[in-house]
Copies of this chain bind each other. A is one copy, B any other.
Amino acid sequence: MTFFRSRWVAAPSGGEELEPAQLAPGFRAAGVACGLKGGGETDVGLLACDDANARSGLLLTRNASAAAAVRVCREQCDARAVRAAVVNSGNANAATGERGYRDALEMRDAASEALGIDQRAVAVAETGAIGVPLPVDDVVRGIGTAARALAGSGAADFAGAIMTTDRAPKLCRVSADGVTLSAQAKGAGMIQPAYATMLCFVQTDGEPSDPRAALSHAVASSFERISVDGQMSTNDTVLLQATGASGRALPEGLLDAVLLQLALEIVADGEGATRVARVEVTQAATQDEAERVARAIANSPLVKTALYGRDPNWGRIAQAAGMALAGEQVEELGPDRIDAGELGTDSGEVEIAVPLGRGDASAHVYFSDLTPEYVELNAEMT
């Protein structure tokens, strides 16, 4: 097993990891270059399902400055019957006004036409710089090229074409109980979820009873639980497509395990990140309180620099928790309560435990460290 490698992911029982360049049966994909990124890097991805009866779940960012592609998906797409997805990387097409919206529609139309699929069955996703007009003619040309290149073995090309600051492509194919599931994701910065928090595409020949419900459940314990920099993106999109051709139900836990491992890869690949921590807040008075404290710790630049510096600085955890609990009466959070010892080790995956002694609610968040490289990467001129 090389995909399910995090200590925090339980690999699905009876699951087998398969060559990830291949998609689940019934799906084809491609990735080509249209010039958005320059240097010949691929930047247009196309994904299609051959089965006209495929069902889907589609989750989109709640950011009020949502990108054109997200608004097109929200307003024009039949989210329960998505057959194809067209993606560009290098340009988020966000805050680009009416022109941006028209450009996203044009991408959708080009994919619809090239694939002979109804417009309402095409999802659009984009990722990259915000506020830059899209050279849509180049993208449309790329979509035509991608349509001709579609192949069952195109997952790696597709995963490569949706990357931005990612250090490595993120993809897998797994089979369990006669069902195959493949997935491709990207994401490294602007990562704190609400629904999803990056782009992720999942294909299966299994049959979830409700694709949207299955996706929501898996996202709640994966992409919803990670933070690189506390920033909700304008473009987050997660799509699950299921043909049901295997005639079998989606095995319990398979989707959850795949999305959690992909989410952890996104955190580990956080811009400039060198390691990942999991903070678990327990004994909170309410669920909201547990969430608030866990997020305050995960997003504290002081905790994140301590993670980078291998500094078991539980005092900064007490401070961040105390900020989230401002004005409340809390029994002192000392070293006898907070377990932050692993911060001081060289482990790549660090556990932190914070029992608040106030009730029964708990919450956890996975987060990356804050490094000089994060700053340098994000301080470069657009």
Q: Which residues of A does B touch, CB under 8 Å?
A: 62-66, 92, 94-97, 129-132, 189-190, 194, 229-234, 300-302, 305-306, 308-311, 313-316, 318-323, 325-330, 332-335, 370-372, 374-376, 378-382
* A309 contacts across to B, CB distance below 8 A: 378-381
Are the C-beta atoms of A301 and B233 separated by less than 8 Å? Answer: no
Residue on B nearest A377 in the bound complex, by CB: B305
What's the Cα separation between A329 and B314 when bound, in Å? 40
A320 contacts which chain B residues (CB < 8 A)? 231
A318 surroundings in chain B (CB, below 8 A): 65, 94-95, 130-131, 234
Query: Is the pair B311, A382 in contact by a Cβ cutoff of 8 Å?
Result: yes
Given A301-B231, A305-B375, A375-B370, is A130 in contact with B381 using a C-beta cutoff of 8 Å?
A: no
Nearest-neighbor residue (CB-CB) of A310 within chain B? B381
Q: A309 vs B372: C-alpha distance in the bound complex, in angstroms?
A: 13
Which residues of the partner chain B approach A326 to less than 8 Å between Cβ atoms?
62-64, 194, 232
Known: A301-B231, A302-B190, A325-B64. A96 touches B319 (CB 8 A): no
In contact, A319 and B371 (Cβ under 8 angstroms): no
**Cβ distance A117 to chain B, nearest Cβ, rounded Å:** 29
Write out the residue numbers on chain B whose beta carbons fall within 8 Å of the beta carbon of A97.
Answer: 332, 334
- Given the known inter-chain contacts A96-B334, A375-B371, please indicate yes or no for A302 contacting B229, CB distance below 8 A: yes
In the complex the two chains form, is A65's CB within 8 Å of B333's CB? Answer: yes
A94 to B332, CA, bound (A): 9
Label chain A's interface by main secondary structure: loop
Complexed CA–CA distance, A327 and B61 (Å): 9
Q: Which residues of B contact A379 (CB under 8 A)?
A: 305-306, 308-309, 311, 371
Give the nearest-CB partner of A189 in chain B. B302
Partner of A66, one of B96, B132, B322: B322
20 further A-B pairs in the complex, CB-CB below 8 A; given A131-B315, A311-B381, A375-B375: A64-B323, A65-B333, A94-B319, A95-B318, A95-B332, A95-B334, A130-B316, A130-B319, A131-B318, A132-B315, A189-B302, A190-B319, A229-B302, A230-B300, A231-B323, A301-B301, A306-B379, A310-B381, A371-B375, A374-B375
User: Which residues from chain B contact A63 at a C-beta distance below 8 Å?
Assistant: 319, 322-323, 326
For A94, A301, A314, which residue has the most chain B Cβ atoms within 10 angstroms?
A301
List 19 A–B pairs whose Cβ atoms lie within 8 Å, in order of A's numbering.
Answer: A62-B326, A64-B322, A64-B327, A65-B322, A65-B325, A66-B322, A92-B315, A95-B318, A96-B334, A131-B314, A131-B315, A229-B302, A231-B323, A305-B374, A309-B381, A310-B381, A311-B381, A313-B382, A370-B375
Residue of chain B at shortest CB distance from A293 = B64
| CB of A241 to closest CB in B, whole Å | 26
For A330, what are the chain B residues with a Cβ–Cβ distance below 8 Å?
64-65
User: Taking the nearest CB of chain B, how far is it from the CB of A70, in angstroms?
Assistant: 11
Given the interface pairs A131-B315, A300-B231, A375-B372, the reply to whether A65 lies near B332 with Cβ below 8 Å is: yes
Contacts of A190 in B (CB 8 A): 302, 319
The distance in angstroms between the C-alpha atoms of A378 and B229, with both chains bound, is: 16
